[in-house]
């Protein structure tokens, strides 16, 4: 049985389906008219084609906004306390290699990159439940570095924390705060005075954790990106607090 006729039926033809000149096709539609005549091309108006093209371009761009936070290291941070059911320590290469993706979000590639970061001077805080790593948080001693977006040089009194993750089975236990205090205690023992972190404006959990530990904002940056392209704009406050931009070298984000 044939399909019922429609008053107006359109079929779009893409650029790959038809040609108009060498290597170019003009967007056209074919309509079935009421009097039975079909196959008559109707060219889209130029304004409509422009609006569609602009719409595709607009949808290909995305804007992300991040705040940079910092916390002073004080004498009170010289003491560190940890709940009896957990142990916190600086992780070794062996600790990273036995991290499970479920508990630490580190897959095979992440673990390999983590080992390389350790060899380049980064540190990782590991929280253990028994023998199982259930919390990780990384520390960069040289740069405020969000790979692909921003890289600013730190002073010798500063350190930058990034990529904190808590096992789903151990959330709500305050491990993020404990890990942060572990880093602050270490920095106090080294005579360092400022811990730096960052969070996306929509990451409410991270921002709440930073606020609880009395981190304050030190500036903001904007990341505009599209397929194959990215551009970062930093605020005047961020540029003032972290004035030295660092060129990226190699593929490893250090």
End-to-end CA distance of the chain: 67
Paired with 40 in beta bridges are: 31
The answer to whether the Cα torsion of 109, 170, 194, 216 is positive or negative is positive
Cα 146 to Cα 32, 64, 95, 112, 162, distances in angstroms: 55, 13, 24, 19, 8
43 compared with 233, residue with greater pLDDT: 233
How high is the pLDDT of residue 206?
86
Average pLDDT (223-230) is 89
How high is the pLDDT of residue 47?
75
User: Distance between CA atoms of 4 and 167, rounded to whole angstroms?
Assistant: 58
Q: What is the pLDDT of residues 239-251, one digit of tens each?
A: 999 999 998 765 5
User: Distance between CA atoms of 47 and 177, rounded to whole angstroms?
Assistant: 56
How high is the pLDDT of residue 11?
42
Topology of domain 65-241 in CATH is Aminopeptidase (3.40.630)
Residue 17 has pLDDT above 60, yes or no: no
Confidence of residue 167 (pLDDT cuts 50, 70, 90): very high
**pTM of the shown model:** 0.75
Mean of the per-residue pLDDT values for the chain? 84
Cα 161 to Cα 76, 116, 144, 239, distances in angstroms: 20, 17, 8, 19
DSSP 163-185: EEEE-GGGTTS-HHHHHHHHHHH
Cα 26 to Cα 15, 38, 152, distances in angstroms: 7, 19, 48
How high is the pLDDT of residue 30?
42
Residue 172 has pLDDT above 60, yes or no: yes
Ramachandran sector of residue 51 (left: φ over 0; alpha: ψ -120 to 50; beta: rest): alpha
How high is the pLDDT of residue 222?
96
Number of Cβ atoms within 10 Å of the Cβ of 124? 25
Paired with 231 in beta bridges are: 224
Q: What is the pLDDT of residues 37-93, one digit of tens each?
A: 555 555 666 677 767 766 676 677 899 999 999 999 998 888 899 999 999 999 999
For the CA atoms of the chain, what is the radius of gyration? Answer: 27
**Domain range list for the chain:** 10-54, 65-241
How high is the pLDDT of residue 12?
39
């Amino acid at each position: 049985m044939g399909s019922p006729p429609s008053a107006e039926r359109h079929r779009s033809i893409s650029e790959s389906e038809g040609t108009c000149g060498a290597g170019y096709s003009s967007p056209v539609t074919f309509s079935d008219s009421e009097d039975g005549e079909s196959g008559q091309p109707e060219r889209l108006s130029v304004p409509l084609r422009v609006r569609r093209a602009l719409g595709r371009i607009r949808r290909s761009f995305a804007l992300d906004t991040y705040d940079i936070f910092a916390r002073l290291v004080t004498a009170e941070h010289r003491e560190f306390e940890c709940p009896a059911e957990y142990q916190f320590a600086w992780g070794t290469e062996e600790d990273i290699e036995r991290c499970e993706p479920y508990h630490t979000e580190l897959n095979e590639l992440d673990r390999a990159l983590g080992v390389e970061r350790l060899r380049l001077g980064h540190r990782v805080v590991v929280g253990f439940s028994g023998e199982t790593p259930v919390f990780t948080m990384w520390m960069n001693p040289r740069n405020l570095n969000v790979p692909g977006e921003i890289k600013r040089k730190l002073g010798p009194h500063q350190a930058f924390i990034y990529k904190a993750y808590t096992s789903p089975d151990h959330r709500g236990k305050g491990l993020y705060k404990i890990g942060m205090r572990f880093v602050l205690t270490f920095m106090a023992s080294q005579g360092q005075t400022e811990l730096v972190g960052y969070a996306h404006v929509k990451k409410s959990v991270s921002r709440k954790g930073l606020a609880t530990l009395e981190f304050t904002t030190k500036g903001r940056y904007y990341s505009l990106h599209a397929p194959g392209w990215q551009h970062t704009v930093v605020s005047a406050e961020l540029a003032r607090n972290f004035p030295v931009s660092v060129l990226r070298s190699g593929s490893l984000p250090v």
